[in-house]
Each structure stands twice: as structure tokens, then as C-alpha cells.
Amino acid sequence: MQGKTRLGQDYEVNFENGVKVLNSQNANYSFGSLHQIMLKGIFEVLKKISPKNVLMLGLGAGSALSILANKCSQPYKVTVVEIDQDLIDIAGQHFGLHQYQNIQIIQGDVVEKIKELPAQAFDFIIDDIFWDNQMPAFCLSQDYLQDACGLLTEGGVYMRNTMNLQPEEEEAFENKLRGIFANFYHLKHNEHNNKIYFCSR
């Protein structure tokens, strides 16, 4: 099944190696290579904290939800912000979104919605917003990163998956992280060349 969402995102629901996946035109959105990247990042965070309130920026088809359900043994709640209602519908129709009882989905523009969320309310933020294989420019902006930081509890972790950043973009992004977060580090997924950043207040 393939098509275009009303916001203009090309998508395809297909099977790869016996696993149902959601792809955009040039990238995997859920349950393919992205699932392995998310698994690496979430496992890294879970070694350090046991989150109770998780914020997901960008839904895809729910790869991160699946990983949390399998890896978190303690009770937790998830708030999801996703701009594209069609992707929410696809996640429900094809990827079992409704099996997760501990989530709240907010449909809307993340730049606006994160300003409405309570300060210091989340101990784990998973930011995986992409348009196809590109990070939207606002994800690299000072204001957006400051807003995300303001939602973190003390000791919480903001995790940002990145790909296809040019060296100058990566340097500018890291300089902004230094000015906003108390500390950060990154891991690289050697197979897919994604960099996953882990930032704390």
C-alpha cells in the first residue's frame, strides 16, 4: 500500500524480511532500519534511568512505542505529538497503535504544542521528527531546542536522532546543544550512519 498524506508525505506500507514497515520516499519511518536505531538509543537511555513520563516528538508508525513496551518493566506514560493525522491513522490501521493503553496522542504542530506542555514534566524525550530523510529546519533552531530542554525533569534525557547533516550543520547543532543543555554526548549507528544525541539539563 502506498500513497501521499494530506500534508504531502509520500509513504509506503510494505513487508521487508517478513516485517511490516512504514517507509517514506527515501527513508524508513518505522520498524525497519529506524527500529534498530531507536533500539540502540532507547536501550542506552534505559541503562541510566527508568522513565515514568515519556514525550515522543514524531510518531511514525510507533517503533519507539513498541521498544518501550518491550523494554520498560516499570509503569510509564507516553505523550506523542504528531502533526500528520494520516500517519496516526496508518499506525492505527496497520501497526497496532491501539494496543498501547498508556499513551496520549496530540495531533498538531510540534513547535506550538510543546509550548503548551507543562515545564519539567518529562524524564525522557524522544525526538525523531523528519520529513522524508531530512530534519526540518526548526528542529535545529535555538528556540525549539530551548523549549524541549524546558520540558525535561532534572536528570531527564532528551534524545535526538539525526541523519544527513552536513558538517557545518552538525557543528552548529552541537554548539546550540552546548549552550542549552548541561551536557550531551552522541552514539553513531555504524550501519546506518545516524548519530543519536543524548542531552540532559
The pLDDT of residue 101 is above 90: no
Q: Which amino acid is at 61?
A: A
> Which domains can be identified in the chain, with CATH numbers?
30-200 (3.40.50.150)
Distance of alpha carbon 156 from alpha carbon 63, whole angstroms:
21
Mean predicted confidence (pLDDT) in 133-144: 88
The pLDDT of residue 75 is above 80: yes
| C-alpha angle 105-122-77 in degrees, rounded to nearest 5 | 50
What is the model's pLDDT at position 126?
A: 97
Contact 31, 20 (CB under 8 A): yes
**In percent, how much of the chain has pLDDT > 70?**
97
Selected residue with higher pLDDT from 5 and 87: 87
Lookup: cell for 171: 557543528
Distance of alpha carbon 191 from alpha carbon 197, whole angstroms:
17
Predicted TM-score (pTM) of this structure: 0.92
What is the model's pLDDT at position 34?
A: 66
Highest mean pLDDT among 103-112, 123-132, 192-201: 103-112
What is the model's pLDDT at position 28?
A: 74
Candidates 173, 192, 194, 193; CA nearest to 184 is 173
The pLDDT of residue 149 is above 90: yes
Distance of alpha carbon 178 from alpha carbon 200, whole angstroms:
10
Mean predicted confidence (pLDDT) in 71-78: 92
Lookup: cell for 38: 531507536
Q: What are phi and psi of 119, to 5 degrees?
A: -65, 145
The pLDDT of residue 29 is above 70: no
